C-alpha cells in the first residue's frame, strides 16, 4: 500500500518538475538575452575604456601566441602527413598544397583557434570575474561610482571579438608554413610553388567566411566567459564552476555555430 501511494505521488510531482525545469531554462535564456543587449548598449555610450580594451587585447592576443603557434604548426604538419597516403594512391600528391589550403582556410584555422581561445581565454575570464564577484570587488566598484559592467565585461568581449580573427589569420599562416615544411621534406617543392598552389585553391569567399566566423566565435567566447564569471556565486566553489562552465559552454556553442555557418556558406557557394 505505501508503495502505491508513493508511486501516485511521483506521478503527480513529475509534471511539476518538468514544468519547473522548462521555466528555469527560459528564465536563463532571458537573462542571457538581457546580458547581451546590455553589452551592445554599453559599447556605444561613454565612458569608453580604451586603455582597458588594449590591455585585454594584449591578454587575449599576445599571450596566446606561443600556444597558437605550436598548435597551428603541428596541425599543418600532421594533417599534411595524414593526407599524403590517400593522394599518393591516385598519384595526386601534387594536389596536396591545394587540399591542405582548403581544409585549413575553410575549417581548421577558425575552429582550432576558437577551441584554444575557449580553453585558455574563456576559462581565464570566467575565473577572474568569478573571483571578483565572490570577493565583492564588483560591488565595491559599484559603490565607488564606476561602471563595473563596462570596465570588466564590455572590454573583455570587445577584446575577444577583435583578437580571435587576428589569431585565426596567424594560425592559418603558421599551419600552412608547417604544411610547407612537410611537403618540402618529401616532395622538394619550392616555397613559391607551394604558396602559388595554395592561393589558387582558395577564394575570397573562403577567407571572408573564415573571418566572419572568427568574429562570431570571439564574441561568443567573450560573452560566455563574462556571463559565467559575472553571475557566479557560492563562494570559491562557484569560481571553479564558472571557469569550467565557461570552457564547456563556449566550445559547445562554437561547434554549433560552425555547423550552422557551414550550411549557410555552402548554400552561398552553390548558389
Per-residue confidence (pLDDT) for residue 218, from 0 to 100: 94
**List of residues 6+ apart from 230 with CB closer than 8 A:** 35, 129, 133, 138, 149, 152, 153
Per-residue confidence (pLDDT) for residue 13, from 0 to 100: 62
Q: Is the pLDDT assigned to residue 20 strictly greater than 80?
A: no
Query: Cα(19)–Cα(25) distance, rounded to whole angstroms?
Result: 10
**Residue appearing with cell numbers 587540399:** 99
Task: Report DSSP letters for 151-219, one per residue.
Answer: IIIIHHHHHHHHHHHHHHHHHHHHHHHHHHHHHHHHH---HHHHHHHHHHH--HHHHHHHHHHHHHHHH
Neighbours of 176 (CB within 10 A): 23
Better-scored residue on pLDDT, 16 or 151 = 151
How do residues 72-104 score in pLDDT, each as one tens digit? Answer: 999 999 999 988 888 888 777 888 888 899 999
How do residues 161-212 score in pLDDT, each as one tens digit? Answer: 999 999 999 999 999 999 999 998 888 888 899 999 999 988 899 999 999 9
Distance of CA 197 to the CA centre of its chain: 30
Query: Cα(57)–Cα(48) distance, rounded to whole angstroms?
Result: 15
Find the distance separating the first CA and the last CA of the chain, reported in whole Å.
67
Amino acid at each position: 500500500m505505501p508503495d502505491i501511494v508513493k508511486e501516485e505521488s511521483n506521478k503527480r510531482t513529475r509534471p511539476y518538475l518538468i514544468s519547473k525545469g522548462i521555466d528555469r531554462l527560459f528564465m536563463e535564456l532571458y537573462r542571457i538575452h538581457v546580458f547581451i543587449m546590455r553589452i551592445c548598449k554599453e559599447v556605444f555610450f561613454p565612458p569608453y575604456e580604451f586603455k582597458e580594451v588594449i590591455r585585454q587585447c594584449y591578454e587575449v592576443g599576445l599571450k596566446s601566441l606561443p600556444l597558437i603557434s605550436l598548435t597551428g604548426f603541428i596541425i599543418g604538419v600532421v594533417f599534411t602527413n595524414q593526407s599524403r597516403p590517400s593522394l599518393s594512391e591516385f598519384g595526386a600528391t601534387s594536389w596536396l598544397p591545394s587540399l591542405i589550403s582548403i581544409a585549413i582556410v575553410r575549417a581548421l584555422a577558425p575552429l582550432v583557434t576558437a577551441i584554444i581561445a575557449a580553453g585558455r581565454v574563456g576559462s581565464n575570464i570566467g575565473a577572474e570575474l568569478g573571483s571578483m564577484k565572490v570577493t565583492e570587488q564588483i560591488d565595491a566598484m559599484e559603490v565607488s561610482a564606476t561602471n563595473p559592467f563596462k570596465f570588466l565585461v564590455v572590454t573583455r568581449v570587445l577584446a575577444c571579438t577583435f583578437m580571435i580573427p587576428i589569431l585565426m589569420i596567424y594560425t592559418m599562416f603558421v599551419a600552412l608554413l608547417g604544411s610547407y615544411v612537410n611537403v618540402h621534406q618529401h616532395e622538394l617543392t619550392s616555397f613559391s610553388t607551394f604558396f602559388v598552389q595554395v592561393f589558387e585553391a582558395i577564394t575570397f569567399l573562403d577567407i571572408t567566411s573564415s573571418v566572419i566566423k572568427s568574429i562570431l566565435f570571439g564574441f561568443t567566447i567573450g560573452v560566455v566567459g563574462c556571463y559565467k564569471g559575472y553571475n557566479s556565486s557560492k563562494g570559491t566553489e562557484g569560481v571553479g564552476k564558472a571557469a569550467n562552465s565557461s570552457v564547456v559552454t563556449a566550445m559547445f556553442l562554437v561547434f554549433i555555430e560552425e555547423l550552422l555557418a557551414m550550411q549557410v556558406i555552402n548554400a552561398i557557394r552553390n548558389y
